[in-house]
Amino acid sequence: MKKKLIAMLLAGGQGSRLYALTQSEAKPSVPFGGKYRIIDFPLSNCANSGIDTVGVMTQYRPLKLNSYIGSGQPWDLDVNDGGVYILPPYQSAGEKGSWFSGTANAIYQNLAFVENYNPDAVVILSGDHIYKMDYADMLRDHLEHNAACTISVLTVTLEEATRFGMMNLGEDGYIKEFEEKPKHPKSTLASMGIYVFDWQKLRKYLIQDEADPNSRHDFGHNIIPAMIADGEKIWPYRFQGYWRDVGTIDSLWEANMDMLTPHLIDLYDPEWPISARSPICPPHQVGSHAEINHSIVTEGCEIDGIVTNSVLSPSVKIGVGANIEYSVLMPGVVVEAGASVKYAIIGENSVVHAGAVVGASPAPGQQKSITTIGPDIEIPAGSTVKVGAMISSSEEV
Amino acid sequence: MKDYHGLIFAYYTDPKLRELVSMRTAASLPFCGRYRLIDFSLSAMRNAGIVDVGVIMQRDYQSLLDHLGGGKAWDMARRTGGLRMLPPFGLPEYHRGNYAGTMEALIAVSSYIKDVQAKYFVLMLGDMCANIDLTLPMEQHRKSGAPITAICTDRADAAGFRMTYIPGEDGYAKQLLVDTVDEKEGVLSLEAYIINKETLLELIETSHAQSLHRFHKDTLDKWLKEGGKMDIYVHHGYTALVRTAESFYKANMDMLDPDIRHELFPAERPVFTKIREEVSTYYSSDSYSRNSLVADNCIIEGSIENCIVFSGARIRKGAKLKDCIVMSDCIVETGCVLDHCIIDKDVSFSAGTVLTGNEKLPLIVPKGSHI
């Protein structure tokens, strides 16, 4: 079955900087923005862009991610001649199987999968970005410029540029140089880690790269520089709109807070729905003592405390007099009466018992410091969790 | 072969539901912010492992069909069996009006019943509001050996019941009081039954031959009087039969009580329903909300108190809603004051609209109105 464009989604990352939250699940399945998990964004973008074949490459603690994706039905990706496929590393006859050693190697190990569909082009996606993007538009741009590879880029400030892979353009507008986290940036075009490749070209470079024992088998470090060196046409696709990498606790918290500001990213737009697999619970209840301000709340929640500037996932329970401010509560979190949760991220099914204090607002003029509680942790009644702590087991409390 | 087959009656709609049923059957009435009444019988069957289910419908079933789809939400989209829609088909002329009773509806689908390879049928109403663990009456039915088991309740949380069974000393039904509600002497019928296939076919055949169309008044009453054995299973949880606009209003408002809600939506027996869009509800800094149930995909900028709000609502700054049911996709502009209203789907209120109903006579704003 020949396809024009298929997507390969890199979801194997461990997310080590989110440590407490990713001990038992891969980063792409970390809950996000109330109803979602991070991977809902690229998967929904695929569905909305008309891509019906998505390979999801997993290797780190994939159990939750696999069951979350399932048949792909929530994203309408359960189709006859395509669909969403979980692609773990595997062994071949006579060969030693191995883990994916880099982003490019992950695709290399799945050459046979891509070949099945013999696509004209492949879009490489990452499982830890929050954004809405039409990959079909990126493909159009790619084809119009007759490119071997098109890299989605964002305009950033020169200060921010030191944290990104930066693209330096030639006079013809094509990318001539790729610099990873440059000390002295020469441009303001940052790579978003989203690539469209001509499949035949990519195939050639993947095979070539695999043979190089010194390669890190990484798109940014190896494949793209090799293509530039060969004079291949690499076009920058200028993306405008909201895009966040949520690889750190601070960026995860900030991106969650962004969901409260509809002009940054409009989740209510029926033309570009972000879909999720969610349990079916009754609507959320606002109790007789509840006060909810500038927050998002979702099904199954029961709120009887004060919730301000916060993001609540399904089935969160907040007791009378509990105070939640600037926090992200993941599915099933319970905050009992009188407890206080401020500037915190609380993992799935954790319980903050009565009167406990988790995190605090920054003092005037001070930097905020996010307190993180992993999943399934009990914070004892009346206890205080140190501001900025990262708690990954109940013993640490 | 599967032992059980479900049949849900979704053809009957009481006119006392007024404007709420001008475009839909009672079984597809919206409930508790995100459900339709038929979700209860479908979920009860699904949770008991019964996924071969026929839904008997007769008219105004477009909204019901839209809700049921292929049955996916209840795991009833199966390669063999699964959910079957049973609108009227192949009927002789004299059956083409409204079904005169449940028995006429059964007669109308008797060829379907004959073809089903199952030992027992579970019959339920589509407009029942209760979370019944069917495995219990199923077990009781197998053990007792009675050809019919009536599912009854000792709770009458909202009006709408019509039949009472008086149990004898042996626990089997002794007498049926038709069009009588007497919770002191007996138990109220949920008009739900487990019945052996051959018994059901016999009853259908006899009733058809004698042109008897009322299941309770004619068929079951006669069954008991002639000494037929009928066991009784009593459900103890929240139960309502939604047959009037007032009971619709009350049953919805009952859901604001967390104890009742937890009884109707226990974690171990979820109520499944069609999934709509996936986005949370946003409360602005200007919003005020108390004692309300709010579905996803709403934007609340105004004030809500004692309300049930379905998905897609936009309650603008300065709007005030009290004791209201707001169905899907309604827009309430600034300055509106709505009190004791049932607002059907897709209604929009322009700024400053004031409407007041009361508990006994909630004001119904029909589907699609622009006010």
**Per-residue pLDDT tens for B313-322?**
999 999 999 9
Sign of CA dihedral A245, A250, A256, A260: negative
Minimal CA separation from B282 to chain A, in Å: 4
Please report the pLDDT score of residue B347 as a whole number.
Answer: 95
Minimal CA separation from A191 to chain B, in Å: 29
pLDDT in tens, B327-366: 999 999 999 999 999 999 999 999 999 999 988 888 999 9
What percent of chain A stands above pLDDT 70?
A: 98
Minimal CA separation from A133 to chain B, in Å: 18
Q: Cβ of A286 and B296 within 8 Å?
A: no
pLDDT in tens, B61-72: 888 999 999 999
User: A320: which chain B residues are within 8 Å (Cβ-Cβ)?
Assistant: none
CA gap A84, A71 in Å, rounded:
7
Q: Cβ of B293 and A294 within 8 Å?
A: no
Strand A284-286: give its sheet, edge to edge. Answer: A378-379, A351-352, A334-335, A317-318, A302-303, A284-286, B292-294, B308-309, B325-326, B341-343, B363-365
CA distances for B283 relative to A72, A291, B98, B205, B287, angstroms: 31, 10, 46, 59, 6
Predicted ipTM of the assembly: 0.89
Q: Which of B32, B72, B275 sits opposite A283 (nearest CB)?
A: B32
Q: Which of B255, B279, B304 sits opposite A268 (nearest CB)?
A: B279
pLDDT in tens, A200-232: 999 999 999 999 989 899 898 899 999 999 999
Please report the pLDDT score of residue B45 as a whole number.
Answer: 97
User: A300: which chain B residues are within 8 Å (Cβ-Cβ)?
Assistant: none
Q: Which residue blocks in chain A are alpha helix, DSSP H?
A: 40-48, 63-69, 103-108, 111-117, 135-144, 158-161, 199-210, 224-229, 249-258
Q: For B193-197, what is the mean pLDDT?
A: 96
Q: Which residue has the higher pLDDT, A147 or B241?
A: A147
Look at residue A96 and tell me whether its pLDDT is greater than 70. Answer: no
Question: Any chain A CB within 8 A of the CB of B285?
Answer: yes
Range of lowest pLDDT (A349-353, B96-100, B312-316)? B96-100
Minimal CA separation from A362 to chain B, in Å: 21
- Summarize chain A as % helix, strand, coil (round to 5): 25, 25, 50
Look at residue A262 and tell me whether its pLDDT is greater than 80. Answer: no
pLDDT in tens, B47-93: 999 999 999 988 778 889 999 999 999 999 988 889 999 887 666 65
From A59, A74, A45, select the one nearest A105 (Cα to Cα): A59
CA gap B328, A170 in Å, rounded:
54
Alpha-carbon A12 to chain mean position: 11
A and B: number of Cβ contacts within 8 A: 105
CA gap A202, A249 in Å, rounded:
34
Minimal CA separation from B9 to chain A, in Å: 24
Q: Cβ of B296 and A283 within 8 Å?
A: yes
Q: Cβ of A36 and B278 within 8 Å?
A: yes
What percent of chain B stands above pLDDT 70?
A: 96
What pTM, to 2 d.p., does this model score?
0.90
Q: Cβ of A296 and B280 within 8 Å?
A: yes
Please report the pLDDT score of residue B185 as a whole number.
Answer: 86
Going by pLDDT thresholds of 50, 70 and 90, the confidence category of residue B158 is low
Question: Any chain A CB within 8 A of the CB of B278?
Answer: yes
Question: Any chain A CB within 8 A of the CB of B313?
Answer: no
Q: For A45-71, what is the mean pLDDT?
A: 89
CA gap B6, B199 in Å, rounded:
15
Q: Is-contact B91 B108, C-beta < 8 A?
A: yes
Q: How many residues does chain A have?
A: 397
Minimal CA separation from B78 to chain A, in Å: 15
User: B284: which chain A residues are within 8 Å (Cβ-Cβ)?
Assistant: 293-294
User: B261: which chain A residues are within 8 Å (Cβ-Cβ)?
Assistant: 282, 285
Q: For A293-317, what is the mean pLDDT?
A: 96
Q: Under 8 Å CB-to-CB from A138, ≥6 apart: which residues?
A: A123, A150, A152, A194, A196, A237
Look at residue A14 and tell me whether its pLDDT is greater than 80. Answer: no
Mean pLDDT of chain A: 91
List the structure tokens of A18. Answer: 């989110």
Helix, strand counts (H, E) of chain B: 9, 28
Range of lowest pLDDT (A67-71, B1-5, B88-92)? B88-92
pLDDT in tens, A15-31: 677 878 888 778 888 99
Q: Cβ of B265 and A282 within 8 Å?
A: yes
Q: Cβ of A296 and B309 within 8 Å?
A: no
Going by pLDDT thresholds of 50, 70 and 90, the confidence category of residue B276 is confident
Please report the pLDDT score of residue B196 as a whole number.
Answer: 96
Side chain identity, residue A370:
I
Q: Which of B279, B310, B311 to mutate to test the interface with A (most CBs of A within 10 A)?
A: B279
Q: Which of A262, A274, A288 sits opposite B278 (nearest CB)?
A: A274
Look at residue B148 and tell me whether its pLDDT is greater than 80. Answer: yes
Minimal CA separation from A143 to chain B, in Å: 33
Look at residue B1 and tell me whether its pLDDT is greater than 60. Answer: no
Question: Any chain A CB within 8 A of the CB of B77?
Answer: no
Question: Any chain A CB within 8 A of the CB of B47?
Answer: no
Going by pLDDT thresholds of 50, 70 and 90, the confidence category of residue B254 is very high
Please report the pLDDT score of residue B213 as a whole number.
Answer: 84
Q: Under 8 Å CB-to-CB from B353, ≥6 apart: which residues?
A: B333, B335, B336, B337, B338, B371
